[in-house]
């Protein structure tokens, strides 16, 4: 089946999909913010009245810098971008920015953390009428690598179902709930979420966890719906928001939370979380495929 069109026009100066020389010096100007507004408008969302809260949790596995003696240091960085930031950061520009730190000298890890937080906060909140706010940054130094956990998403595995799949573009009509049955609270998971990069067309693979309270969601229909993203072109964050809106409108749960963990590309993974109600963001624990 044909791929769907991107959820918004792709800027001509976007570094993703173009051959770009890797930087030799620190350059925060490499960060390329993309406004969330156009993507959300496609879903009928008003930025001032979003039906969800949450965050985009990134992991950078290829972080390096120099200490004051010129000795290279390595680390793993965890970034948390609130869902209300007006911008997402285009992933290749993020990678280029991180590479611009390779020959930069920092007094210590705290100094690096403060620089990352300042640069990324400015890009994520650029254009915000409420002014600059911060994002979360945590750096794991090499001595802590062996304590970094790995686990699969908890929940009932939808992939156990032997269903026939015929839709490969988002098909919300596949969703439904059994309104005559008692309310339940359950967590459902799948490893079959796949979408495509809006620029390069490369596949983006993910596991997804759906936790809800309400009338039972039809599991076979939900799995078919997850599979229907297979030829869809969209950024990770927008795919999860589209999924949230479709389930919220079609199944009408009392509460809903969606957590998707996408496999890494260029040393970066992106893990969007959206919830109908305030709650702690899940721990940034990678899955086996990440």
pTM: 0.92
Going across the sheet that includes 184-196, the strands are: 136-141, 72-82, 53-66, 268-275, 255-262, 203-214, 184-196, 156-157
Of 197, 188, 178, nearest to 258 (Cα)? 188
Where residue 6 falls among pLDDT bands split at 50, 70, 90? very low
Residue 68 has pLDDT above 70, yes or no: yes
What pLDDT is recorded for position 23? 79
Catalytic annotation present for 239: no
List alpha helices for the chain, DSSP H. Answer: 37-42, 91-99, 109-125, 219-227, 236-251
Q: Are strands 156-157 and 184-196 parallel, antiparallel or unpaired?
A: parallel
How high is the pLDDT of residue 29? 97
Do 33-147 and 156-275 agree at the fold level? yes
Three-state DSSP class for residue 93: helix
Specify the CATH class of 156-275 in words: alpha beta
What is the three-class DSSP state of 175? coil
Query: Would you tell me the crossing angle of helices 219-227 and 236-251 to the nearest 10 degrees?
Result: 150
pLDDT tops 90 at residue 120: yes
- What does the DSSP assignment read for 17-41? TS--PPPSS--GGG--EEESHHHHH
Is residue 90 annotated as involved in ligand binding?
Answer: yes
Does the annotation place 265 within a ligand binding site? yes
Query: Is 237 annotated as contributing to ligand binding?
Result: yes
CA atoms of 203 and 233, how far apart (whole Å): 9
Length of the chain (residues): 290
Residue range 237-249: average pLDDT? 98
163/142 Cα distance (integer angstroms):
44
| 232 labeled binding residue | no
Candidates 7, 119, 197, 246; catalytic one: 197
**3.30.200.20, 3.30.565.10, 3.30.1280.10, 3.30.1130.10: which CATH number matches 33-147?**
3.30.1130.10
**Residue of 56, 204, 246, 269 with catalytic role:** 204
What pLDDT score does 13 carry? 56
- Average the pLDDT over each of 10-24, 134-148, 182-196, 243-257 and give the range with the smallest value: 10-24
236: annotated binding-site residue? yes
Q: Based on the residue annotation, tell me whether 197 is a catalytic residue of this protein.
A: yes
Helices (H) and strands (E) in the chain, counts: 5, 10
Domain boundaries, the chain: 33-147, 156-275
């Amino acid at each position: 089946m044909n791929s769907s069109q991107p959820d918004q026009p792709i800027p001509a100066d976007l570094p993703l999909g173009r051959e770009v020389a890797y930087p030799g010096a620190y350059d925060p100007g490499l960060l390329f913010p993309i406004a969330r507004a156009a993507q959300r408008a496609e879903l009928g969302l008003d930025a001032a009245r979003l039906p969800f809260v949450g965050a985009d949790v990134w992991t950078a596995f290829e972080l390096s810098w120099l200490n004051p003696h010129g000795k290279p240091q390595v680390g793993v960085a965890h970034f948390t971008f609130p869902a209300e930031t007006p911008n997402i950061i285009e992933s290749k520009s993020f990678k280029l920015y991180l590479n611009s730190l390779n020959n930069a000298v920092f007094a210590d890890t705290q100094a690096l953390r403060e620089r990352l937080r300042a640069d990324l906060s400015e890009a994520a909140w650029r254009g915000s009428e409420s002014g600059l706010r911060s994002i979360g940054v945590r750096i794991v130094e090499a001595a802590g690598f062996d304590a970094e956990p790995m686990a699969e998403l908890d929940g009932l595995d939808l992939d156990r179902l032997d269903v026939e799949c015929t839709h490969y573009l988002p098909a919300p009509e596949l969703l439904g709930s059994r309104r005559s049955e008692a309310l339940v609270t359950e967590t459902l998971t799948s490893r079959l979420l796949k979408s495509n990069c809006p620029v390069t067309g490369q596949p983006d693979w993910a596991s997804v966890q759906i936790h809800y309270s309400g009338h039972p969601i039809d599991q076979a229909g939900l799995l078919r719906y997850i599979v229907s993203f297979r030829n869809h072109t969209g950024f990770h964050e927008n795919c999860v928001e589209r999924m949230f809106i479709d389930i919220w409108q079609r199944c009408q749960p009392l509460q809903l939370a969606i957590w998707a963990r996408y496999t890494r590309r260029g040393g970066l993974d992106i893990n969007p979380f959206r919830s109908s109600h305030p709650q702690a963001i899940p721990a940034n624990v990678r899955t086996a495929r990440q």
